[in-house]
Amino acid sequence: MDGAPNLMTSLVLHDYFRSSASYRVRIALNLKGLAYERVEVSLIAGEQKSDDYLAQNAQGFVPMLVADGETIIQSLAIIDWLDRSFPEPRLIPDEAMPRAVALAQAQVVASDIHPLNNLRVLKYLKNSLGLNEITKDRWIHEWILQGFDALEAMAGDGTYLGGEAPGIADCCLVPQVYNARRFEVPLDSYPRLLAIDAACMELEAFRRAHPDAVKSA
């Protein structure tokens, strides 16, 4: 699945290997067949808060894509830009209703699950609010389970959330399943999501984006 020819000469992805949002963008880049340079930004070391990084990305988050010197932040905005700049294969449908469905599925993860469980929120729960590990894990599980309950019902009958080809929702789902397994969230109630995740992981584009593959590269 190669992206369409384009005059773009330079794509640099600033990301962290285990960041869910970064993982989404790596999948999208791979699905498009695009070559890119990867720059690791250690969230643990706080490199995202360095003066140099904040000068490019005032929010101080990952991922950040630099395309011929132009900076794009926020994973879904990056994926939308990739889809408009490199139209094939499509990750976000053109038609109004399929587009709305795909974006709604993606937002269940990107807006309703992931923000409540990302590193800065978990640090705040532990360091500022004093939650112990058991309570923190209950927090993590609760929001993943609520989101996956909805997404399982929204999954449809296709091989992927995107239908018969992976799309933006699959780019969001696979990293969230990875996180759920990291935090030992019980997933037996989500056979469709697990089947979709397994189908995605049969594709090289998803395997090459996996945190273990990136970390060992």
Q: Decide: 202 and 208 in contact? Cβ < 8 Å.
A: no
Task: Give the up-direction half-sphere exposure of residue 102: CA atoms within 13 A in the CB hemisphere.
Answer: 25
List where CATH 1.20.1050.10 sits in the chain: 96-203
27 CB neighbour count, 10 Å cutoff: 28
- Each residue of 41-53: pLDDT tens digit? 999 999 999 999 9
- Each residue of 99-129: pLDDT tens digit? 999 999 999 999 999 999 999 999 999 999 9
The domain made up of 96-203 has a fold known as: Glutathione S-transferase Yfyf (Class Pi); Chain A, domain 2 (1.20.1050)
The pTM of this model reads 0.94
What's residue 5's pLDDT? 45
List where CATH 3.40.30.10 sits in the chain: 11-90+208-216
High-pLDDT (> 90) share of the chain, %: 94
- The contacts of residue 114 (CB under 8 Å, 6+ apart) are 20, 21, 176, 179
CATH of domain 11-90+208-216: 3.40.30.10
Band the pLDDT of 1: cuts 50, 70, 90.
very low
